[in-house]
Amino acid sequence: MSNKILISIGKVHIEAQLLDTPTARNIKDALPFASKAQLWGDEIYFETPIMAELEEDARDLVKAGELAFWAEKNCIAIGFGKTPASQPDDKAGEIRLATKASIWAHAITDVTLLKTTKASDFIFIELI
């Protein structure tokens, strides 16, 4: 079975490679599902039907292209630039999530394409 997913948000399609983690397995088992985009600076997050524990290596500082799972809210978060939690004097464009999250996939597609996403855009996530 495939370990790649496709996240479709409007006309933007982000392909990602699942990692070998408990969170990734939980998400894979729940696919396909739909949600609505919420925005927090240059981060998109959306509710999921998944419940997963925070993994030991969870972190709040991520790189563009890392897909994170926010266990407290059962949400997937995709950071692609500065968020309100990013350090204001950081010139490198730190991507800091609101809280620690488990990294469960790496985007193959350039996640900066998500800059066109609007709050409440329809999201569909599926295995490919």
- C-beta separation of 48 from 83 below 8 A: no
Domain extents in the chain: 4-127
The domain over range 4-127 is classified in CATH as 2.40.160.20: no
- Alpha-carbon gap, residue 60 to 28, rounded angstroms: 22
Query: What value does the mean pLDDT of the chain take?
Result: 94
Q: What is the pLDDT of residue 87?
A: 82
Please give the full DSSP string across 1-57, using - where no structure is assigned.
Answer: ---EEEEEETTEEEEEEEPSSHHHHHHHHH-SEEEE-EESSSEEEEE-S---PPPTT
Per-residue model confidence as pLDDT tens digits over 19-78: 999 999 999 999 999 999 999 999 999 999 999 999 999 999 999 999 999 999 999 999
- C-beta separation of 94 from 82 below 8 A: yes
3 bridge partner residues: none
User: Which pLDDT band holds residue 1 (cuts at 50, 70, 90)?
Assistant: low
Q: Look up the pTM and report it.
A: 0.93
